[in-house]
Amino acid sequence: MNRLAFAFDLDGTIVDSRRDIVFCVNKTLDFYQLPELPFDRIVSYVGNGARVLMERVLGKNLMHIDLDEAVRKFREIYLEHCIDESYIFDGIYECMDIIKRGGHYLFVITNKPSPHSIEILKHFDILPKLDGLFCQDTMKALKPDPITINELLEKYCLKSKDFYMIGDSKVDVDFAHSAGAISIMVGYGGVISQEEYNNTNSNFKADTTSDLIKIIKNIVGK
């Protein structure tokens, strides 16, 4: 049997974590006695890790606020609230079950730190399903640097055409393509704009989780 590998991004792909992230960003701003930012504005900053998120959120305030301290504060608050209102998208369990029943590899690769990722994945009982979890603090380089995919290809003796990266952003698509892997971009996550989704050149696109189920079934031949 030709074993394939499927890697999922976390935020906007497996779970909708927007409400918890926005709440914690605004709690961090409150800590610095800064005004809260609108929901959509904060969401537009998500996708490249906590450091980039807080850099975008703080903007000109970085002239008098230490970025490293702000990132630590955000992560501290977020660890306490990362599963308050986050929920798993309908159909994700089915997608993962199709992959595992077929005997294929299942990974999560996220630019989120491991403490938060583990907390979320444990809460939704996904962690036991995985063959590997790769996070901001356990990867040699963040997505879209291809080193994590390249290491997995070597470890599991996989060809790049047999590795599928499922994610909701151009970062995930670039991550896949830079390693010669196949990209599946999802449009149901609510993080990226419709324009970015439409204009990103992915191998496959899934507007809904039902579309994602169909794509995965076709790939694995189920």
Tell me the sheet residues that pair with 6.
Answer: 106, 164
User: What number is the average pLDDT over the span 133-151?
Assistant: 96
Q: What is the pLDDT of residue 222?
A: 59
Straight-line distance from the first to the last Cα atom of the chain, in angstroms, rounded to the nearest whole number: 14
Does the domain formed by 5-16+87-220 have CATH 3.40.50.1000? yes
Task: Extract the tokens encoding 56.
Answer: 């975008």
- DSSP-derived letter for residue 65 is S
Average pLDDT, integer, range 161-168 = 98
One fold for both 5-16+87-220 and 18-81? no
pLDDT tens, residue by residue, 9-33? 999 999 999 999 999 999 999 999 9
Q: What CA–CA distance (Å, rounded) separates 120 from 87?
A: 9
pLDDT digits (tens, 9 = 90+) for 83-126: 999 999 999 999 999 999 999 999 999 999 999 999 999 999 99
State the chain's mean pLDDT as an integer: 96
Distance CA 110, CA 86 (A): 16
Condensed to tens digits (0 to 9), the pLDDT of residues 186-206 reads 999 988 888 989 999 999 999
- Tell me which of 1.10.3720.10, 1.10.150.240, 2.40.33.10, 3.40.30.10 is the CATH number of domain 18-81: 1.10.150.240
Domain boundaries, the chain: 5-16+87-220, 18-81
- Percent of the chain exceeding pLDDT 90 equals 92
Chain centroid to Cα 216, Å, comes to 18
The whole-number average pLDDT for the span 160-179 is 97
pLDDT for the residue 145? 96
Bridge partners of 100, per DSSP, are: none
